[in-house]
A and B are shown apart, each in its own frame.
Chain A
Amino acid sequence: GAVVSQHPSRVICKSGTSVKIECRSLDFQATTMFWYRQFPKQSLMLMATSNEGSKATYEQGVEKDKFLINHASLTLSTLTVTSAHPEDSSFYICSASGGGGEKLFFGSGTQLSVL
Chain B
Amino acid sequence: AQKITQTQPGMFVQEKEAVTLDCTYDTSDQSYGLFWYKQPSSGEMIFLIYQGSYDEQNATEGRYSLNFQKARKSANLVISASQLGDSAMYFCAMREGWNTGNQFYFGTGTSLTVIP
Contacts and interface: CB of A to CB of B under 8 A. Distances in A.
Contacts of A111: 43
Nearest to B91: A43
A20 interface: no
B106 interface: yes
B108 A93 contact: no
Given A43-B109, A44-B91, A44-B106, A98 B100 contact: yes
Given A31-B101, A43-B107, A98-B100, A108 B47 contact: no
A109 to B, nearest CB: 4
A77 to B, nearest CB: 13
Interface stretch (A11-19, A61-69, A78-86, A99-107): A99-107
A43 B91 CA distance: 8
Interface in B77-113: 89, 91, 93, 95, 98, 100-101, 103-104, 106-109, 111
A102 B103 contact: no
Interface string A16-50: 00000000000000011010001001111010010
Interface residues of B, number: 25
A91 interface: yes
B30 interface: no
A44 B37 CA distance: 12
A49 B43 contact: no
B25 interface: no
B29 interface: no
B32 to A, nearest CB: 10
A111 B89 CA distance: 17
Nearest to B98: A102
A97 interface: yes
Interface of A: 1, 31-32, 34, 38, 41-44, 46, 49, 51, 91, 93, 95, 97-98, 102-109, 111
